Structure 1
Amino acid sequence: MKIAYTAGSLQKEHNGVVRVVYEIIKALKKRGESAIFFSQLVPPKKEQPFPMIRVPSIRFPVRPEYPMSVLPKSTLYPHLDAFAPDIIHITAPDALGYAAVLYAKERGMPAVATYHTSFTDYLKYYHLGATEPFFWARYRKLYNNCERVFAPSKVMVKELKSHGIRNTFFWPHGVDTALFNPSFKSRAWRTANGLGQKTVLLFVGRLVWEKNLDILVEAYRRLKGKKGAAFVVAGEGPAKEQLKKRMPDAKFFGQLDRNELSTVYASSDIFVFPSTTETFGLVVLEAMASRLPAVGAGAGGVKEIIEDGVTGFLAKPNDAEDFIAKIGRLLERPKLTAQMGASALAYARTQSWNHVMETLFEEYKKIFSKKK
């Protein structure tokens, strides 16, 4: 089977969506499938496992790390004609994704989509909440021209359906337990970073305020030093400098590669994640695979990963008091932290990428057979 993909970025470690795309790439190589990728951001040619075509783009001052494609058809169409895909898979509802679905419609071939990011939830943070109906209308036009819209959590399937999007399909994500596991715990890393015997509270993710970072800051303000608590933040984003000013004693590690990140996860003690806008919450599952109990907001995909009171705690969404109280319970009870960490690890080990990818490729086959 020949499959064409579009993505907002193909630069490794850029975000959780890219990590999922690279899991798809691993599955493609394992199966011996043919593929081509299109994106605004691509790695150097020598690092490309499949042909990756850079689409011209422009950057905006507000979010320069996410360039927007410009006139994608002029790049996309000739390459797609030459490649002649059997199916097209888009991973973002951007101009490139729209052009790819239009191409599929014009050529009479199937297109599918994955719904990775709840962009409409971000609108309120940019004072654009009134535009939400417009965006959902655009999404309906795009996604209802797809044979499948893969959503990584049941709550996202429900939300898409509530906005009139058809052909939704529950497709959860997995975790690489060979990469993210407790064996990478490093006493040397803790010592080198002045963390020694402290209880390390870890946040991993894009540093943008829509991740509810204000609650993370409040947790830092109230809990730093309590029972030896120390905060570690891994990730990049426009909020980083302001966050460093508001959390001056926290350790900031920026964007880490996967091997570095596995050490940070395994060498921490509790994962804290206040975001309410996650379609899944891949970092939560990676932390759990590293034997960390997780405290997260009971919203979005995160509430389907954390089993409240078993693998961690779910706090009331947007409630700093409850979030801090749940972290406090773990700080006060090290045995409970260890017990929940063990349960988190046991759960994560059942969430294999192999099964996830089997499901995806089975759906590809069904769709392709139907269109033949």
Structure 2
Amino acid sequence: MNTHDADDILVDDLPAPRHSRRLAVVTETYPPEVNGVAMSMARVVDGLNRRNHDVQLIRPRQPAKLTPPSSGNPMVDEVLTKGLPVPLYPNLRMGVPSKRALVKLWSLKRPDVVHIATEGPLGWSALQAAQHLALPVTSDYRTNFHAYGRHYRLGLLSKPIMGYLRKFHNRCDATMVPTEAIRVQLVERGFERLSVVGRGVDAQRFDPARRNAAMRESWGAEPTDLVMGYVGRLAPEKNLGVVLAAYESVKVVQPRARLVFVGDGPMRAELAARVPDAVFAGQRSGDDLAAHYAGLDMFLFASLTETFGNVTTEAMASGCAVVAFESAAAGELIRSGVNGWLAGPGREADFVAAARTAAADPAARRAVAEGARATARRLDWGDITARFETVLEGAIARAEPAFGLSGLQPVI
């Protein structure tokens, strides 16, 4: 083979180079805040940066007590805006109307696409600014705000909230949703241009190998005792009464069973009064959170307001036997009796019965936990970021003929 032939082969075999894009990502929650939207957005931003994109992250400035106020990635250009506490969620911030500032920012440094992760005042301002500048816009549908109404006596606002969300997302070039079930529900409610982009899980961090005997002992659990747990916000919309019912039912046949709550929220005092023997571990993060998951034998997740529920996949990766309703991530990923246990949506008696079934059979529980771990290991964040990138590229491609954009904007 001569050199010319070798060069031809090498050139032919090389994949087409990926365009480096300038992306503006707007979100009203981000680490060090601890919630599913914040953590998954941080993963996506990091993944986009690793895929050689220039990411401008626009978010509210967080309180000084949350340290450090940084994305943790020096390659990401952060733009901090004014923020206010979120009603009912005082530890979270929402942005304030900022259209004029964003128009100025993006006029000077024009992104190829704007991605909006949250639909609050900052998100709405970003949508208006992007459309003013004829920029393609994508968005996420991440939180069922309208479903929270019945838990906070806001039922009359459910329809107006859904109307706002539909108007918001239908003004975008594409909206990403986490599951096929959510896509179908939103199509029925008049949402358009929906793409399913799931969630990944860090199966190296969330690993059953992090199980810690000393931690379990601090919870009052012997090595063979059953430890049941919940991770997340302690709030009415999480349906925690069903978790308590399952625990109380299991305790009848296994008096040494323990219940651990990881997280904090407005229901903590009420839960402590109702279940004085429960363990309240407070809010945890990072490897410490992973160790708490790994210390559980069963994970009880009764929420019906999730669009996905990252805690489900984190628990599965940690080798927990998950008991959940057939909804969100659990409904998408779990086959009952194979890699978890499911109850029909809202069928509380079935949820309690599933918990008792799981508690009564350690061998089945171990097999299900292994199946859960195997499922979670397939949920790679790299694959999720690639799907996310594909939706962004589609929005850019559709915008280019309309606005005469060919190729990349020069970096300013």
Global fold match (TM > 0.5): yes
Tell me: CA distance 1:137–1:320, structure 2 relative to 1, closer, same or farther (3 Å). Answer: closer
Separation (CA, whole Å) in 2 of partners of 1:32 and 1:176:
21
CA deviations 1:130-183 (Å, max 9, x no partner) are 222212221222111111110001111011111111100111111111111112
Alignment of 1:354-365 (within 5 A): 354-365=382-393
Q: What TM-score, normalized by structure 2, do the two folds share?
A: 0.85
Q: Helix, strand or coil for the counterpart of 2:89? A: coil
Alignment of 1:77-96 (within 5 A): 77-96=103-122
Separation (CA, whole Å) in 1 of partners of 2:251 and 2:49:
46
Is the contact made by 2:29 and 2:94 (CA closer than 8 Å) also made in structure 1? no
For the aligned residues, what is the CA RMSD? 1.9
Separation (CA, whole Å) in 2 of partners of 1:312 and 1:46:
37
Q: Following TM superposition, by how much is the alpha carbon of 1:40 offset from its aligned partner in structure 2, in angstroms?
A: 2.5
Aligned residues: 372
Separation (CA, whole Å) in 1 of partners of 2:61 and 2:285:
17
* Corresponding residue number in structure 2 for 1:204: 231
CA deviations 1:81-129 (Å, max 9, x no partner) are 3332111111111111111111111111111011111111111112222
More moved, 32-41 vs 284-293: 32-41
- Unaligned 5+ runs, structure 1: none
Is the contact made by 1:8 and 1:41 (CA closer than 8 Å) also made in structure 2? no
Separation (CA, whole Å) in 2 of partners of 1:27 and 1:237:
31
* Corresponding residue number in structure 2 for 1:138: 164
* Corresponding residue number in structure 2 for 1:186: 212
Q: Helix, strand or coil for the counterpart of 1:65? A: strand
More moved, 126-135 vs 92-101: 126-135
Q: What TM-score, normalized by structure 1, do the two folds share?
A: 0.94
Give the percent of matched residue pairs that are identical in Structure 1 and Structure 2: 28
Is the contact made by 1:11 and 1:18 (CA closer than 8 Å) also made in structure 2? yes
The structure number with the bigger radius of gyration is 2
1:217 to 244, 268, 271: 244
Q: Following TM superposition, by how much is the alpha carbon of 1:57 offset from its aligned partner in structure 2, in angstroms?
A: 2.7
Q: Following TM superposition, by how much is the alpha carbon of 1:278 offset from its aligned partner in structure 2, in angstroms?
A: 1.2
* Corresponding residue number in structure 2 for 1:40: 60
Separation (CA, whole Å) in 2 of partners of 1:195 and 1:79:
55
- Unaligned 5+ runs, structure 2: 1-20, 401-412
1:328 to 351, 356, 361: 356
Separation (CA, whole Å) in 2 of partners of 1:247 and 1:294:
21
Tell me: CA distance 1:179–1:128, structure 2 relative to 1, closer, same or farther (3 Å). Answer: same
Q: Helix, strand or coil for the counterpart of 1:66? A: strand
Q: Helix, strand or coil for the counterpart of 2:355? A: helix
Q: Helix, strand or coil for the counterpart of 2:139? A: strand
* Corresponding residue number in structure 2 for 1:273: 301
AA partner of residue 257 (structure 1)? S
Is the contact made by 2:30 and 2:59 (CA closer than 8 Å) also made in structure 1? yes
Q: Following TM superposition, by how much is the alpha carbon of 1:269 offset from its aligned partner in structure 2, in angstroms?
A: 0.5
Alignment of 1:1-372 (within 5 A): 1-12=21-32, 14-42=34-62, 44-45=68-69, 48-49=72-73, 50-59=76-85, 62-197=88-223, 198-224=225-251, 226-227=253-254, 228-372=256-400
More moved, 22-31 vs 71-80: 71-80
Separation (CA, whole Å) in 1 of partners of 2:58 and 2:286:
23
